[in-house]
Structure 1
């Protein structure tokens, strides 16, 4: 088969033989324009719009799909789990900035409004070594120096997975708390060995003192031994968690992996992966109230004021089971479409297909036995090609699209109509904790020369 250029030369020969001088000039101009493009194999997409002469867009090889008229032109903070760096990438796939660290990431990292970084990092020798164990929380200044640090890493406690700065400037952290087997058994646990339930603490970074804490171990129900504390009918106590729902040989039976704080309602949404649920915790309590089932704005103390995703975890036969392991309960805020709803990445162990749900939170938090307590699904997205057994999450973009982080693959941008606007393949060995979006004109990016 003849190449495209061979046809060009044949056409030139005919032009020189048959056409008038004026027609020769016009035809040659058109043919040379085609010939100049014939050997350019770079991935180029021409954006839509009213510009009659738009600049071509050169895509990095990682960009598999780029629909110019559908994407939101923002930057993506790609958080490389277990690495000592993270990157800001644009929609063409170019790295526009890279952050490097002395320690590898424990998981979460975010850019604060002042341009500093808040992250959780791994101690080299964590004594509790479940996936996501970290041990160090840090604020890193613009020049890379550590401005603030909080370390919790022992045989009994370790920081893990997530970190968030609250509106008051305090830092919210997630902790595994070791409970010895004998103590756990006295509270009704049938789990063999020590157990590691979850604990939340709020740290004042000026003093590094704990100003608030919540312990899941204070809010137990069990129906295995009537002679022990916390005995009751699990289905009749949905505000408690069944300590024997998910026994684990290593004691990590809850494995919470992320949280988000709701400023308006003063609650914390906690993703409890081992229960395939999200729990809502009242942050308005005092520490003393958080250890009981009374007090706080919702009157339940530290009990679970709402939960969703897997009603079978509290023996409720009503309501759809939607979650099959889950990550990142992301409360939509700051005026994005769907504000007040929650995006949740459901990993989907059993079918090996992940789903992102947008869920409408109830106006009033309540849990009623033998009732469908599940929230309404506003929007969802699933794709047989999208599955990550670990990490992952989703963000809502300003134009209404949803940015999905498929942890062991890369990123998807999905329109409200469920069309793929953008897909970025991080390549073999990539592992992303989450992805956060930043507008290209966000003033905070000026801190990095962008």
Structure 2
């Protein structure tokens, strides 16, 4: 249902985490920094649609990917291609281009760039892909994912390829997923030791890639997640992710946030709405654990950002009022991810 009220709808000043929220409407061409009242206090114009989000760096610069016209032989949401770091006044500090980049891109502490990309899967390997909807391959074949770390000058210093570093036959695609892409990486979360935590949407899998062997040193598959997004390792060592809840056996589609211990898979914390169907985004979306212990949630396909306490009380809520045309032939106010920065953070640094 299209929302009827936009902007900030809830703000508990005693319980909400004070700060500024950065979001990039997926079908707009800007990154917005807003205060707790929903007022835009700073804005950066982007040269294309976000691919799929922007974030502030510790030096206060904006880091993002924007869509380019070239790339894979299909239209996919959160496609980027142009990776940039810009200063507060939108002056370009660094630029790198890979037209097949999509979904996630990170600036590493060593100034290198970690990102997910697509590539055509070799025909021999494509023949081993199991599952998915029969006959939905692209005319060109099947696209698969890679993850690369490159220097700001574009030198590749590390790379991982799904078609060669995974046992493709072991991981069957969900039967309702088109076979055009295996396995649709939507998150590349760098770990302190150089390993990478990834989310593979089409096979309902999160895994840690060993930097040295390029094999999975840990993995978990759960069809109940329903094509999850935004897996991340928290400072306490737990993993948190946005479980979209699409194509599951649940009686009613719903999303949830789950935090679990990767050693035992025990659920440590979870957020669901009541009734559960009041919280549902079948794609995109994410969550961020805030310094206060609260969690900022992005219900992407509804354009809704909201903050909950550990006790699951909603203490801040915003709905994006900006609707724009999509390449699906409809309008949407989608947001891929959002981030909250406290006033005393280095990212804000007294600039607003």
Question: Same fold judged by TM-score > 0.5?
Answer: yes
Match of 1:444, SS?
Answer: coil
Cα distance change of structure 1 residues 396 and 244 upon mapping to structure 2, 3 Å threshold: closer
CA distance in 2, matches of 1:141, 1:220: 38
Pair 421,76 (structure 1): closer, same or farther in 2 beyond 3 Å: same
Q: Secondary structure at the match of 1:217?
A: helix
1:102 to 47, 54, 57: 47
Q: Please state whether the residue corresponding to 1:106 is helix, strand or coil.
A: strand
Given candidates 216, 229, 245, the residue that maps to 1:304 is: 216
Q: What is the TM-score of this pair, normalised by structure 2? A: 0.84
Q: Please, which of 261, 273, 279 is the counterpart of residue 386 of structure 1?
A: 279
**SS state of the match for residue 348, structure 2?**
helix
Across the two proteins, how many residue pairs are aligned to each other?
323
Contact 1:75 1:438 in 2 (8 A): yes
For the structure 1 residues 303 and 67, does the alpha-carbon distance in structure 2 shift closer, same or farther, using more than 3 Å as the test?
same
Is this contact kept in 2: 1:126–1:134, CA < 8 A?
A: no
Q: Report the CA distance shift for 1:361/1:143 in structure 2 as closer, same or farther (over 3 A).
A: same
Contact 1:221 1:243 in 2 (8 A): no
Match of 2:81 in 1: 135
Q: How many angstroms does 1:361 deviate by?
A: 2.8
The equivalent residue for 1:201 is 148
Q: Of residues 230, 241, 256 in structure 2, which corresponds to 1:355?
A: 256
Partner of residue 234, structure 2: 332
Is 1:309–1:322's contact at 8 Å kept on the other side of the alignment?
A: no
CA drift of 1:216 comes to 1.4
- The alpha carbon displacement at 1:69 in A equals 2.4
Match of 1:271 in 2: 199
Runs of 4+ in 1 over 4 A off after TM superposition: 190-193, 243-250
| CA apart distance, 1:244 | 6.0
Select 1:147's aligned residue among 90, 93, 109: 93
Indicate conservation of the 8 Å contact 1:82/1:107, yes or no: no
In our comparison, the structure showing a higher alpha carbon Rg is 1
Structure 1 residues 217 and 253: alpha-carbon distance in aligned structure 2, compared to 1, 3 A threshold: closer
Structure 2 distance, partners of 1:308, 1:183, is 23
Q: TM-score, normalised by structure 1?
A: 0.67
The one-character-per-residue Cα deviations of 1:113-147 (angstroms, maximum 9, x if unpaired) are: 11222111100243433222222211223332322
Measure how far apart 1:340 and its partner are. 2.2
For residues 344 and 222 of structure 1, do their structure 2 counterparts lie closer, same or farther at Cα, with a shift above 3 Å needed? closer
Query: Hey, what's the Cα distance between the residues in 1 that align with 2:92 and 2:242?
Result: 32
Structure 2, unaligned runs of 5 or more: 324-331
Determine the structure 1 residue equivalent to 2:329: none
Q: CA separation in 1, counterparts of 2:20 and 2:88?
A: 19
Deviations 1:360-413 (A, max 9, x none): 232xxxxxxxxxxx6221100011311111111111112111110110221111
In the aligned structure 2, how far is the partner of 1:62 from the partner of 1:184? Answer: 46
- Aligned match of 1:402: 295
Residue of 56, 74, 95 corresponding to 2:19 = 74
2:121 corresponds in structure 1 to 179
Q: Which blocks of at least 5 consecutive residues in structure 1 are unaligned?
A: 1-59, 224-240, 286-300, 311-320, 334-338, 363-373
Summarize the Cα distance change of 1:282–1:104 in structure 2 as closer, same or farther, 3 Å threshold: same
Equivalent residue in structure 1 for 2:267, among 373, 377, 381? 377
Look up the SS of the partner of 1:421 in the other structure.
strand
Which residue is equivalent to 2:111? 169
Contact 1:174 1:199 in 2 (8 A): yes
Query: Which secondary structure does the structure 1 equivalent of 2:48 belong to?
Result: coil
Structure 1 residue 246, shift from structure 2 partner = 5.5
What's the RMSD between the two structures over aligned residues?
Answer: 2.3
Quick one: distance in 2 between partners of 1:64 and 1:244? 39
Partner of 2:66: 121
Quote the Cα distance in structure 1 between the aligned partners of 2:164 and 2:288. 33
More strand by share: 2
Distance 1:249 1:68 in 2: 45
Q: Tell me: higher relative CO, structure 1 or 2? Use CA pairs within 8 A at least 6 residues apart.
A: 2
